[in-house]
Structure 1
Amino acid sequence: MSPLAPVGPAPTPLALDGASVDGSLYTEVTDLARHAPGLLSDPLAAWSTAGLVLLAVLMAAGWWRARSDDAARMAAALSAPLAAAAAFGLNDVIKALVREQRPCQTLHTVTLEACPAPGDWSFPSNHTAIAAAAAVALLLADRRLGAVAVLTALLMGVSRVWVGAHYPHDVAVGLLVGAVTGWAVGRAARRAAPAVRRLRASRLGPWFST
């Protein structure tokens, strides 16, 4: 009589083998990061956190500047944090479907940032998607602030590969997810201009107009 097979769920195969896409490029970047001088490496590593802080400041500045503009521009400015939240939610759904392991887990590389635990999926990059969504929504509201935000989002993507948290394709798709989400939310938000006008006429008026 043959022994019983072990009972338990079969392992779920990864839907995407990131190492076969651009694993060599990822390894080159992380090797460069480890050997780069601190004047270059430290600011890029810090940008993974500092970039999101700057984006929050830019979104607040967009709201403040829109107080003296028309209602549609204010609605677009207010949509930036909503776009960031929507991109985060959509990105998490994609992560759960694709289930790509972090490159530092698959390639066993030494990285600047501590390697996330198995099951903390890599594709696409949440940081990059959030940053891109906020940047594009802000660009629709305020071109000057939006231009700075777009540069911030691009540097965010670079920093996520630099510290070893993501493959380059994780970042590229994160930028795409975020940009599309930010554009869709920002464009739709302009339809909320009548609601902004009502808010401007209410007791909350000083928060939405000068």
Structure 2
Amino acid sequence: MSLAAELCAGLRALDLPLSAAQQGQLLEHLTLLAKWSKVYNLTAVREPASMLRLHLLDSLAALPALRRHTGGATTRVLDVGSGGGLPGVAFAIAAPELSVTCVDTVEKKARFIAQVATELALPNLRAEHARVEQLQAPPFPLICCRAFAALPDFVNWTRALLAPGGAWMALKGQYPADEIAALPADVEVFHVEQLQVPGVDAQRCIVWMRAKP
């Protein structure tokens, strides 16, 4: 099966109807990720089909849950420790109503995301090279991460950037019971959502958190 066909099948399984142009942008993101990784080691996964499943579809599997949370409204999203732009770039392509800022401490990774935004003509995507706890930006209604840090560190490093009433969205593998137990007393988990990633036989979940009122 070609990458394009597998992407199409994966999107059907996720119930994410995307245009041919959006699907082309997603595949171009993978092409750029593979190209840059030869020099900058942005990802350890190099085989194209594995990149599609473990990076792209793994990120997109969280998008329906995100849209249920936002109601499909225009929303500013901060993707922390974005690396090669996952899930931030995938979100920006597949959900144009989102204004996505990807922040990473590694300059080459932030530069890569900025290049993707330029080459794929994504006005709703921007990159920031900074430690997230030092990032200067208006508060975000939604802050997400994928394979970034333990939950207590994630919320502590980003709490100054969370808008009042906002939510944290952490993409995890297995249910992180120990991390949840270690969360600060003023942070609550209001939902844990199990995900099924097409072609990936592994546990995935989203941990939704917010500041206690």
Larger Rg: 1
Instruction: Judge same fold: TM > 0.5, yes or no.
Output: no
**Which of the pair is proportionally richer in helix?**
1
**Which of the pair is proportionally richer in strand?**
2
Q: TM-score when scaled to structure 2? A: 0.27
